[in-house]
Amino acid sequence: MQPQIYLASNSPRRRELLTQIGVHHTVIGVNVDETPREREAPAEYVIRMALEKARAGHHRVESLTPMPVLGADTAVVVNQQILGKPKDQNEAVAMMAQLSDTTHKVLTGVALIGPQEATRLSVSHVTFRAVSQKEAIAYWQSGEPADKAGGYGIQGLGALFISGLDGSFSGVMGLPLFETAELLHRAGITPLGVDRDNL
């Protein structure tokens, strides 16, 4: 099948989610500075990052087959603090202590650049049960947390710690499918092959 969009992300989870809804895509790697700006709100940050990734991808493929470019960014937020990807075991265990026995936000910004730029924001609330230090160390040693915002993956072993979810499972994974489908629809791409305007 011919690709329908470019995905400006190396995330295997985002590729998996697009495949899940039947959106054929070509991956393009991009590098952007992901440092939050001073006093930048987490929601503004994830939207800016999604846009910057999509713009960087769009710049890379300008001379290639014209297709929309999708970018996304996810942040785990505790008390307005963004938790990035843990650098080592100590940082991962410290993050797990912050998440343990509390509810935090997961924000995912999505941007699509085609003829126009458009963005969407997904906000989810994730509740963790109490997690012991021993469990946090064992989880780090599984290898799963290393490349994940907030140091956990909802679709993997991290699900063992989650007692509640109010929001989007796919958004917590890294690509909220409802919001993504809205953006794709605006660009004339319908995952089900059905134009919603004609339903």
Annotated active-site positions, please? 73
Residue 82, both tokens: 């963004």
Q: Which residues face 103 on adjacent strands?
A: 127
